[in-house]
Amino acid sequence: MEKSGYTEAGIQRVFKNYIPPFFMFDPNAYLEKKREELKNVTGRAIVAASGGVDSTVCAFLSHSILEDVTAVFIDDGLMREKEPEQVAHLFREGGIEVTIIPAQEEFFTDLKGKTDPEEKRRAFRNTFYKVLGRTLKDMQAEYLIQGTIAADIKETQGGIKTQHNILTQIGIDPGQYGLQIIEPLKDIYKHEVRAVGKALGLPESLWNRIAFPALRLACRVVGEVTPRRVEMVREATAIVEEELLTFNPFQVLAVLLEDRATGMVEGTRKFGNIIALRCVESTDALTAQPTELPWETLHQVVERITTEIPEVIKVVYDITPKPPSTIEYI
Ligand code: XMP
């Protein structure tokens, strides 16, 4: 019998979204440490920008320390609507030049026919580094800087999933792609990356933007990744982001499942696609809880997806926490 009115369930409810203050982590001391670490790096470096928080903070951190840094954005055909233009704009505003490298066909060719999640991840990784290796050579750069963070390494080494950006840590030599890799953020977690972005003086829209995997929409297509299947997820993503970002979740996503389901459209039976929605709260992406979305909001999202994307016949809201589920679907 609890004496006060505070039950364990009540405390958990109140503190579910509580983000601990950064008293254990001093971003300014961290920046000092990075300046020291990177001071001997000379020669041209290229940052692989994805538009996500980690690579964006990593790019601006490197740019604040190194002499010759430029960014490349690989257009793999797996991005959200208008993403290449938005990322390029964001970087240019912050004083970093971005070159967009068109590689859509190469990615879709290499992903063709692959349905196993790990096989897809390996195919993506291979194409990604092949294109980057070529780009580095073309741009006469010596180093590739990438925004790998501690969670990526931990999850890959822990055998949960092969994050596309992990090479050395699992015994792959970046030299085979002609690369020397620098990973300035590999010892910190997402909330610390955000604190570093803030300490760098970046606008909140940069360090507090919603997390988005560098594997992009390929994480959100279960089964074969084809241009049309990616297009469906892209359209659904635009809808869920429009409707759900106001709830300020850690991540919000739409996933195209491999299964199909029967529905009725204008009195006729239709066997169509299924989209799963995921909206989660987290601080470090290692654990996550589903967002308790209002019923009316969910109705509105379902209505929009099924009318605006006619191939979709069913929409489900996934409320599985991490663990046991991961945030993404592959
Ligand atoms: P999961 O799905 O493992 O995701 O719960 C944890 C966090 O990592 C992101 N994620 C990735 N990020 N490359 C990335 O850069 C990847 O291959 C990848 N897979 C997952 C995911 O969006 C979440 O924030």
CB 112 within 8 A of CB 127: no
Q: pLDDT grade, residue 29 (50/70/90)?
A: very high
Residues 6+ apart with CB under 8 A from 20: 283
Query: How far apart are the CA of 122 and the centre of ligand 1, in A?
Result: 14
| CB of residue 327 inside a 6 A radius of ligand 1 | yes
How far is it, in rounded angstroms, from Cα 236 to Cα 256?
Answer: 9
Q: pLDDT grade, residue 254 (50/70/90)?
A: very high
- How would you class 38 by CB atoms within 10 Å of its CB: exposed for 0-12, middle for 13-18, buried for 19 or more? middle
In terms of Cα–Cα distance, which of 103, 195, 121, 181 is closest to 148? 181
More confidently predicted of 261 and 215: 261
Q: pLDDT grade, residue 3 (50/70/90)?
A: very low
| CB of residue 216 inside a 6 A radius of ligand 1 | no
Q: pLDDT grade, residue 290 (50/70/90)?
A: very high
Quote the pLDDT of residue 8.
Answer: 42
Residue 89 corresponds to which amino acid? Answer: H
> What's the rounded mean pLDDT across residues 200-228?
91
Q: Would the pLDDT of 41 be above 80? A: yes
| CB of residue 163 inside a 6 A radius of ligand 1 | yes
| Structure token digits, residue 299 | 């109705």
CB 66 within 8 A of CB 45: yes
Protein residue with its CA nearest to atom 9 in ligand 1: 213
Query: How far apart are the CA of 87 and the centre of ligand 1, in A?
Result: 19
End-to-end CA, the chain? 44
Quote the pLDDT of residue 187.
Answer: 94
- How would you class 59 by CB atoms within 10 Å of its CB: exposed for 0-12, middle for 13-18, buried for 19 or more? buried
C-alpha dist (Å) from residue 157 to 58, 103, 160, 166, 182: 22, 29, 8, 9, 19
User: Three-state DSSP class for 12?
Assistant: helix
| CB of residue 214 inside a 6 A radius of ligand 1 | yes
> What's the rounded mean pLDDT across residues 32-60?
92
Q: Could you check whether the bond before residue 324 is cis, i.e. omega within 30 degrees of 0? A: yes
Ligand 1 nearest-atom number relative to CA 155: 3
**Within 13 Å, how many C-alpha atoms sit on residue 301's CB side?**
29
More confidently predicted of 152 and 3: 152
Quote the pLDDT of residue 170.
Answer: 63
For 139-188, what is each residue's pLDDT tens digit? 999 999 999 999 888 877 777 767 767 777 666 778 777 789 999 999 99
Protein residue with its CA nearest to atom 4 in ligand 1: 327
Quote the pLDDT of residue 162.
Answer: 73
Q: Would the pLDDT of 112 be above 70? A: yes
CB 127 within 8 A of CB 106: yes
- The predicted model scores a pTM of 0.84
C-alpha dist (Å) from residue 115 to 55, 80, 174, 232, 235: 27, 21, 26, 17, 21
Quote the pLDDT of residue 4.
Answer: 39
Number of DSSP helices (H) and strands (E) in the chain, helices first: 11, 9
Ligand 1 nearest-atom number relative to CA 251: 24
| CB of residue 328 inside a 6 A radius of ligand 1 | yes
| CB of residue 251 inside a 6 A radius of ligand 1 | yes
Quote the pLDDT of residue 7.
Answer: 41
Of the listed ranges 131-135, 213-217, 248-252, 296-300, the one predicted with least confidence? 213-217
CB 280 within 8 A of CB 288: yes
Ligand 1 nearest-atom number relative to CA 160: 3
